Amino acid sequence: MATKIRLARGGSKKRPHYAIVVADSRMPRDGRYLEKLGTYNPLLAKDDEGRVKLDMERAQEWLAKGAQPTDRIARFLEAAGVKPKAERANTKKAQPGKKAVERAKARADKAEAATAE
């Protein structure tokens, strides 16, 4: 059975509250799970102790059994020091396109020519 450590959403509309659970990867997001490991409340401040509550011993046991954490859970485990920090792909979405670079270069050249005169 392929197991995942993931979030199961609870709470009302626009007031999310998540349970950190171990579930079969084929089960729905909020469906049946094997064990609840903790909670995550994204509405609390990032430095608040109650934002992420996680039973680290049980999480380590599930990781040893082969459970795969989702991205968000992996970040929680990295912050707690349970899992080594992983390299993440740095996408180039934030980089300007070719035409934008050309326009910026043309503007810079035009400004430089104007200050030279």
Tens of pLDDT, residues 16-72:
999 999 999 998 888 899 999 999 999 999 899 899 999 999 999 999 999 999 999
Q: What is the model's pLDDT at position 94?
A: 77
Q: What is the model's pLDDT at position 85?
A: 85
Q: What is the model's pLDDT at position 69?
A: 93
Q: Does some domain include residue 24? A: yes
> Which is higher by pLDDT, 110 or 115?
110
Sign of CA dihedral 88, 59, 40, 5: positive
- CA–CA distance, 117 with 2 (Å, rounded to integer): 70
CATH of the domain at 56: 3.30.1320.10
Q: Does some domain include residue 113? A: no
Q: Does some domain include residue 65? A: yes
Q: Does some domain include residue 49? A: yes
Q: What is the model's pLDDT at position 30?
A: 87
Q: What is the pLDDT of residues 87-109, one digit of tens each?
A: 877 777 778 889 999 999 999 99
Q: Does some domain include residue 94? A: no
Domain that holds residue 33: 3-80
Q: Does some domain include residue 10? A: yes
Q: What is the model's pLDDT at position 95?
A: 83
Q: What is the pLDDT of residues 51-62, one digit of tens each?
A: 999 999 999 999
Q: Does some domain include residue 58? A: yes
Q: Does some domain include residue 91? A: no
Domain count, the chain: 1
φ, ψ at 110 (rounded to 5°): -65, -40
- CA–CA distance, 23 with 66 (Å, rounded to integer): 12
